[in-house]
Structure 1
Amino acid sequence: MAAAVPLGTTWEDLEDAAKKTVWDGYHRYLMAREHTRRFLDTNNLIVDLDVGKASALEEFKRVHRALDVLKELQEQIRRRLENIRRADRLAAADTSDPDVDSVVVIGDGDSSAVGPVVIGTRPTPTPMAPPP
């Protein structure tokens, strides 16, 4: 470890070993002095980006766009299969909705009604009579 040099010492007053020590560490001192700043006395490093030929986020954006393309290709396949399925249902004269969660069949022995259950439109059920 280097010894402390008294304040007011000039370059000419230093011995050769001390001059070599100062010279060896001078570039590190300049780098710290010119390219770091103290922030609110916490000595946190503030990074400044040098302007380059490409954006700093360009690689991230390129990969993200590739993932978006792959996702859209999968969605296109899903939509194509859904259209084929719907066309097959129409060709078979099946006009029911396959996306309905449940279907309620109401009726007696002679006639019946079929309809999808839509949330919020169910009638309030009447309470059952107590058993005898």
Structure 2
Amino acid sequence: MEAFPTLELESASRFVAELGLTFDTVSPDRVTGHLDIGTQHHDAWNAVHNGVYCTVVERAASVGASRAVAHLGQFAVGTGNATDSFVRDVTGPVRVDARPVFQDADQQLWEVTITSAGMSALLARGQLWLQNVPLRR
């Protein structure tokens, strides 16, 4: 069985824990999760900081892509993040859905959508290019 790190917020770095993204499903071909957007995610204008959306895209895609190559003794690191935010006036629960667009032995491309939990409105979407690299021992 391949080693895969725990994804529990209690054992995460302060940065990841403060983001608050909790995973519901983690597989090589889909990652789902949720978080509650609050004032800790807002900028000086009381809107969701676009960096929050970028970080959610990076985290969800990296976890899924790493799960896809864990059996090979590898993990995936983001090399290019393109995230578009559409709605920044948000507080409350949001849903995250990440799926691979392309996967091969060296690299992967994942697409991530972030929607409001109640109305399923698209808040942001992004894509992350990742490089598969050997695990550090």
**The TM-score by the shorter chain falls in which range?**
under 0.3
Choose 1 or 2 for highest CA Rg: 1
Higher relative contact order (CA 8 A, sep 6+): 2
Select the structure that is richer in strand.
Answer: 2
**TM-score (normalizing by structure 1):** 0.22
Query: As a proportion of its length, which structure holds more helix?
Result: 1
